[in-house]
Structure 1
Amino acid sequence: MRLNDLLGLRVIDADGDDVGGVADVRLVQDGPLLVSMQRALRVDGLIVVENRVTRLFGYERHVGPALLRRLVHARLGEVWYLPWANVDEIVDGVVRLASKRADFRRLEELARY
């Protein structure tokens, strides 16, 4: 599966509830050393938007004016970060999770870097 294939997929939690759609994929460069002398990338987690899948421009986090961030959150609803370890399976265009919505971390709670 290609990363682009993940974008837009519906996400279902462990209770069978529709959580939202995959808006982005978070990668970490900590894999094995490649010939290019760089570390390989691995999927660390998914960024899931509650109301609809849309482009994210950074305002859903802690960047930019507060008023603009509030407007973006009003449109998107909740925005969660779901670690890749929580993904149970990807079948028929749906990402099924092993965790429940109550266990999700909001994207804004991720460390700033």
Structure 2
Amino acid sequence: MRASELLDRRVVDNGESIGVVVDIRLEAVEGVGFEIVGLLVGPRKPLRLLGPHEADRSGPWLIDRLQKRRDRQIEFIPWSNVREVGDAAVEVDRSVV
């Protein structure tokens, strides 16, 4: 499976839908390439992925305000908490610390 196939896939925790995969966090591994370290899960694609998001950059005030509101709804799920990647959904266990 390609990492890009995870994008927009539904994420489920204990049978409850918690959102969709909006982004994937990778880490460089010497000699291997990259490995997935986690998923960003939210209700929909966050605006910050579509424009400036560095702390020292900002866009128009309206976009900044919308980005901050949507960012509160984004949750990082470590890859170690992913139980299964199915055709219809990604099953996770958020109770694992």
Q: 1:41 aligned to 2:40?
A: no
Q: CA RMSD in A?
A: 3.0
CA distance in structure 2 between the aligned counterparts of 1:61 and 1:99, rounded to whole angstroms: 28
Superposition TM-score, scaled by structure 2 size:
0.73
CA contact (8 A) 1:60 1:79 kept: no
Instruction: Kindly provide the amino acid, as one letter, of the partner of residue 96 in structure 1.
Output: E
CA contact (8 A) 2:46 2:67 kept: no
Superposition TM-score, scaled by structure 1 size:
0.65
- Residue number in structure 2 paired with 1:25: 24
CA distance in structure 2 between the aligned counterparts of 1:47 and 1:73, rounded to whole angstroms: 15
CA shift at 1:86, angstroms?
A: 0.6
Percent of aligned positions with the same letter in both sequences?
32
- Residue number in structure 1 paired with 2:50: 57
CA distance in structure 2 between the aligned counterparts of 1:69 and 1:26, rounded to whole angstroms: 22
CA contact (8 A) 1:20 1:53 kept: no
For structure 2, the 5+ residue unaligned runs are none
